[in-house]
Amino acid sequence: MALFNSIKKSLAFFTKRNSFSKSILEITCLSNVPENTVYGGPKPQNPNQRVTLMNLRQKHKKGVPITMVTAYDYPSAVQLDTAGIDICLVGDSASMVVHGHDTTLPISLDEMLVHCRAWLEVPRILFLLGTSLLVLTSPVLISLNDEQAVDTAVRVLKEGGMDAIKLEGGAPSRITAAKAIVEAGIAVMGHVGLTPQAVSVLGGFRPQGRNVASAVKVVETALALQEAGCFSVVLECVPAPVSAAATSVLRIPTIGVGAGPFCSGQALVYHDLLGMLQHRHHAKVTPKFCKQYAHVGDVINKALLEYKKEVTNGSFPSSFHSPYKISAADLDSFSNELEKLGLSDAASAVRVAAEKTETTESSGGRGTSD
């Protein structure tokens, strides 16, 4: 009978092994984001799935729009992952948004790799739970030959942990660099239209494709990047009909940044779409193409002002935010020890603090000042 029960349990185990494996996976995942601790965290929208190029191709084939957000650090990474964003672009726009420069040009590759490595914690912690495809805009590939471009791209993947790299522009040297990187086994996203790294040539951050020659160039460049092996192309700040033309002739998805609704997907900068207002260029006016889905900057400012007010008037921290206790007996002993050491002022401070704490707690945990 014991043998029969043992066999029965074994059969039940193997019959339900998929369910069991799923349960074990869920337990493992939950251990990474404890909910009942001080440092618990949110869960991603797409559990147990990591976004890959295959996922993007399938979405594109089905006509499902692709979402991409430009962000630069771990807290942002967790938010994007939780929301189920398809692609995170660790962009050289960090030069402006995070470092406060006027253009994207001053930031170095080493500085960009710091932002990339901040994302490494997301695949490590949330890999089984799902994470966005990670793409880096390289700020240095614009001036490198093919061999140097490949070496730099390899470094981005090895040291930065990225899944792909984005190259701006469509000059012949950029096309050959993209092809060389793809042939080295590294995924490349192209970028045409307004290319911020070429701001000096363009005469500022100006939209492209607004005349016949420029519009044709956008389409031709996108086609050239596709032939070079790019898995996707960003179309930035071009008229909607131009992006529609490019999207219609390409076999790969287009990602629009201020390029209208006819692209295969859309991209915005994290700080812009949240209304964080961090850069002086965007402090009063966000890009015309950017919809603000929140006004987080106002919330942050209000919170900081409230914090300053409460610290100044003494209402923070109250007893509620002073959770660590010492027994009355130990307080007396502590005070006596201080007296023995000749620290009478410190002993007096202990007694006064104990009395105030007791008074505050007896009044329901509210501070003595408002």
The answer to whether residue 83 scores a pLDDT higher than 50 is yes
The answer to whether residue 76 scores a pLDDT higher than 50 is yes
Please state, as a whole number, how many other Cβ atoms lie within 10 Å of the Cβ of residue 232.
29
Greater confidence (283 vs 236) lies with: 236
The residue whose two tokens read 């790294």 is: 197
The answer to whether residue 302 scores a pLDDT higher than 90 is yes
Cα angle for residues 28, 29, 31 (degrees, 5° grid)? 65
Per residue in 164-190, pLDDT (tens digit) is 999 888 889 889 999 999 999 999 999
Q: What is the pTM of this model?
A: 0.76
Burial 123-134 (b: 16+ CB within 10 A, else e): bebbebbbbbbb
* Statement: 53-300 belongs to CATH 3.20.20.60: yes
The answer to whether residue 10 scores a pLDDT higher than 80 is no
Per residue in 229-251, pLDDT (tens digit) is 999 999 999 999 999 999 999 99
The answer to whether residue 361 scores a pLDDT higher than 70 is yes
Looking at residues 359-365, what average pLDDT do you find?
Answer: 72
Cα 25 to the center of its chain, rounded Å:
25
Distance (Å, whole) CA 162 – CA 136:
7
Per residue in 217-227, pLDDT (tens digit) is 999 999 999 99
Binning pLDDT at 50, 70 and 90, where does residue 369 land?
very low
Asked if the peptide bond before residue 323 counts as cis, ω within 30 degrees of 0, the response is: no
Looking at residues 49-75, what average pLDDT do you find?
Answer: 91
The answer to whether residue 278 scores a pLDDT higher than 70 is no
Structure tokens at 273: 């779409």
**Extents of the domains making up the chain:** 7-32, 53-300, 316-362
The answer to whether residue 288 scores a pLDDT higher than 90 is no
Percent residues over pLDDT 90 in the chain: 42
Nearest to 138, CA basis, from 180, 96, 88, 197? 197
Looking at residues 274-294, what average pLDDT do you find?
Answer: 73
pLDDT at position 14 is 36
| Dihedrals phi, psi of 169, to nearest 5 degrees | 90, 165
Range with the poorest average pLDDT among 69-78, 99-108, 266-275, 343-352: 99-108
Looking at residues 11-28, what average pLDDT do you find?
Answer: 38
Q: Name the most confidently modeled range: 8-22, 139-153, 237-251, 290-304.
A: 237-251
Looking at residues 304-333, what average pLDDT do you find?
Answer: 92
User: Is 236 an active-site residue?
Assistant: yes
Distance (Å, whole) CA 94 – CA 65:
25
The catalytic position among 111, 121, 220, 236 is 236
